[in-house]
Structure 1
């Protein structure tokens, strides 16, 4: 699509102007997500479809660069980036990253000093409440559920409607019975008073 029709215009090398069809209050927040980060056009075009497939085809500007990574890697390295603007303040030279899927395995590797850090949960946290190495760190995560929007929602709606009708019928029955017995009791009292 032609950028002008898309509503995007580069004012200069560092400024991008975007026109929206309607107000989007969270638009600037969206721009903080990686898919919207600016890319080095020359670097991206050099690698084409291979761009981002391994650590040799990734361009970064952070405190570390990713090394020894491809899409099937279960381990890789983050090495200090000498080009980083504040490189003098970065104390680590290298970080080894291992993907460990089992909490128990990660915990055992940490206990045997093969890992510097391991994320644990559930029973492992309870068992290590008194462990001085345990650090509880707040973490934010975002999850969402997307239900089958065809049949499932319809069935759930029908079930809710059925239960609502059932509850309503029980309530009506209870009210009518209460009213009936009150009338019977009132008539009995009137009849009893007339006899006296």
Structure 2
């Protein structure tokens, strides 16, 4: 942990003090949220996510077919470079945490268990409260729907299908809400 803090704080390892241990925020939650925002992770995928799925050199995750949820395909999902950086930082930090010593799972709860729907929904609620975001009916799947909508609206339904790990584009289309402004532009261009 001292070596990790030395690197994060950019100071010599011998200069790390007990006060430094509480001064660096964990990258765990940032990596979890950023990865989910980019890939629309299902709660079951968060629970199963392995360190080996992360490909930092190519800023992507690769979910092997044996861990694929709801189908049997191998999935490659793109990450923003910022997400890949935060995820790399978490992987480094994670290596310093004893509760991860016997686990390949990328994220564990404070009790050392894999995340589930309930714990992820509570985490999302706590994060929204901490950020001052108004309370409303929101679940982990809200992030998934949002990701599909953003990718589908800004790229294509096919891009969203691949990022969401859906076999059928019809499934993805249920997530995508047409953008009124883009519809208006298309109408204006047509006549």
TM-score (norm 2): 0.23
Structure with the higher fraction of residues in strand conformation: 1
TM-score (norm 1): 0.23
**Structure with larger RCO (C-alpha < 8 A, sep 6+):** 2
Structure with the higher fraction of residues in helix conformation: 2
